[in-house]
Amino acid sequence: MSEHSNTPETPAIQPRHVFSSLPKYAAGKPPTPVEGLKQYKLSSNENPHGPIPEVARILADFDATHRYPDPLSTKLRTALAHHLGVDAHNIVTGAGSLGALNQILKAFAGASLDGTQDEVIYAWRSFEAYPILVGLLGAKSVQIPNLPNGAHDLNAMAQAVTDRTRVILVCTPNNPTGPAVTEAQMREFLTKIPENVVVVIDEAYYEFCTASTVPAGQNAPVNGLNLLNDHPNVIVLRTFSKAQGLAGLRVGYSVSHPQLTQYLRVAATPFAVTALAEAAAVASIEHEEAVMDGVRHIVAERERVVARLHELGYNIPQTYANFVWLPLGEHTEAFNKLAASHALSVRAFDGEGVRVSIGEDEANDRFISICEQFPHRV
């Protein structure tokens, strides 16, 4: 090594101050191999069956890799506008809904010139990416603990609003706990939020809600699009990563009032949505029924898993997504190890619980058998 090389002890280049307090994104891990067992990854809420054949064909035939994509994703926004019944001007695409969320936070949350931090309120535990994106921009995370049943504490979230609050993130269904917010709850919440605060409704699992049967006496999960006309401060986030099985292609979008989209377009990374991702997304919209057939199968599998967990005495929160949450507390790591020894990877949050994605039918069978063997209940 030359005398000019930097060792980790004497780094010459330092990142911005905020880096010292950022949590690391721990992506769902692949399973560890076990002799004689097929491995299954149940740690990232992916669609185990991948894109539908009509979309897979488009991916195989794609021949414009040498061309830049349309920076405005015009074909995709046009297809979405028709499909969702909104104006194409109200849609901004991004590299996954994370890309779209990043545009929103870049546009509306950071630090003022005098160094005071903007505040971003969200439930916790919720999507792991939130604290990282918020922190990177120099804004302050205000995390409101979930209710004991894993649902957002919307009253406490509304009460946490200050004159520094710029953005509120509502994750419905909540990743990793599963409960969803209803339209009535969301409308009541919005009456308490100042109109200059942006309210993001992250609906990454929306299709799994519409495919779910709502239990008697309960109300259906919100469709954020219904709120946009009454609330110009609302932004709805959706993605093609989960239901459509395109997580690896990175395409998602937001829908909001043009008063907001004008800033999101400025904040967007140019060419973030590739032409390949755009073509796959458009085809997924054109073949919605085939996509929803796959979603309905996953939801039926989820209901099979949930019913068995109830029989076994697990007390788990209601889930409207493609995963279940086992609030195992101190037994979390033991469950994680047991799953790993059966070639299943799950998402463990140490000391809190385990999120397990609904996967291939055989993977779900194996998950159930692990739950049968596990000595602790929640």
Ligand X SMILES: *Cc1c(COP(=O)(O)O)cnc(C)c1O
Nearest CB to ligand X, comparing residues 241 and 345: 241
Q: Is 252 in the site for ligand X (CB under 6 A)?
A: yes
User: Taking the complex as a whole, how short is the minimal distance between the CB of residue 313 and ligand X, in angstroms?
Assistant: 28
- Own/partner pairs for 154-158, CB < 8 Å, 24+ apart? 154/181, 154/185, 154/188, 154/189, 157/121, 157/122, 157/123, 157/189, 158/189, 158/192, 158/193
Nearest CB to ligand X, comparing residues 175 and 185: 175
Q: Is 243 in the site for ligand X (CB under 6 A)?
A: no
CA–CA dist 319, 307 (Å, integer): 12
User: Taking the complex as a whole, how short is the minimal distance between the CB of residue 97 and ligand X, in angstroms?
Assistant: 4
User: Taking the complex as a whole, how short is the minimal distance between the CB of residue 311 and ligand X, in angstroms?
Assistant: 28
Q: Is 207 in the site for ligand X (CB under 6 A)?
A: no
Looking at 42, 52, 104, 204, which residue binds ligand X (CB under 6 A)? Answer: 204
CA–CA dist 79, 63 (Å, integer): 21
Looking at 48, 51, 69, 96, which residue binds ligand X (CB under 6 A)? Answer: 96
Looking at 93, 239, 345, 357, which residue binds ligand X (CB under 6 A)? Answer: 239
Q: Which stretch binds ligand X (CB under 6 A): 73-81, 117-125, 153-161, 240-248?
A: 240-248
Q: Is 179 in the site for ligand X (CB under 6 A)?
A: no
Q: Which stretch binds ligand X (CB under 6 A): 35-43, 90-98, 151-159, 338-346?
A: 90-98
Q: Is 298 in the site for ligand X (CB under 6 A)?
A: no
Place of tokens 């057939």: 293
Q: Which stretch binds ligand X (CB under 6 A): 117-125, 134-142, 234-242, 359-367?
A: 234-242
Q: Is 97 in the site for ligand X (CB under 6 A)?
A: yes
What is the pattern of x (binds ligand X, CB under 6 A) and - over residues 127-166?
A: x---------------------------------------
CA–CA dist 96, 130 (Å, integer): 14
CA–CA dist 75, 335 (Å, integer): 45
Looking at 118, 202, 278, 301, which residue binds ligand X (CB under 6 A)? Answer: 202
DSSP result, 25-69: P-PPPPPPPBTTB--EE-SS---TT-S-HHHHHHHHH---TTSPP
Nearest CB to ligand X, comparing residues 142 and 343: 142
Site for ligand X in 19-78 (CB under 6 A): 45
Place of tokens 């991916």: 59
User: Taking the complex as a whole, how short is the minimal distance between the CB of residue 116 and ligand X, in angstroms?
Assistant: 28
Looking at 90, 241, 318, 345, which residue binds ligand X (CB under 6 A)? Answer: 241
Q: Is 175 in the site for ligand X (CB under 6 A)?
A: yes
* Spatial contact of 90 and 100, defined as CB atoms under 8 Å apart: no
Query: Which ranges in the chain belong to alpha helices (H)?
Result: 53-61, 74-84, 96-108, 129-136, 154-159, 183-191, 206-210, 258-267, 275-286, 288-311, 332-340, 361-373
CA–CA dist 311, 177 (Å, integer): 20
Chain centroid, CA 91 distance in Å? 18
| Helices 53-61 + 275-286 axis angle, to 10 | 150
Looking at 171, 199, 249, 260, which residue binds ligand X (CB under 6 A)? Answer: 171
CA–CA dist 263, 266 (Å, integer): 5
Q: Which residues pair with 35 in a beta bridge?
A: none
Nearest CB to ligand X, comparing residues 107 and 237: 237
Nearest CB to ligand X, comparing residues 97 and 318: 97
Looking at 55, 157, 234, 247, which residue binds ligand X (CB under 6 A)? Answer: 247
Residue at 348: amino acid letter = A
Nearest CB to ligand X, comparing residues 238 and 366: 238
Chain centroid, CA 258 distance in Å? 24
Residues that bind ligand X (CB under 6 A): 45, 96-98, 127, 171, 175, 202, 204, 239, 241-242, 247, 252
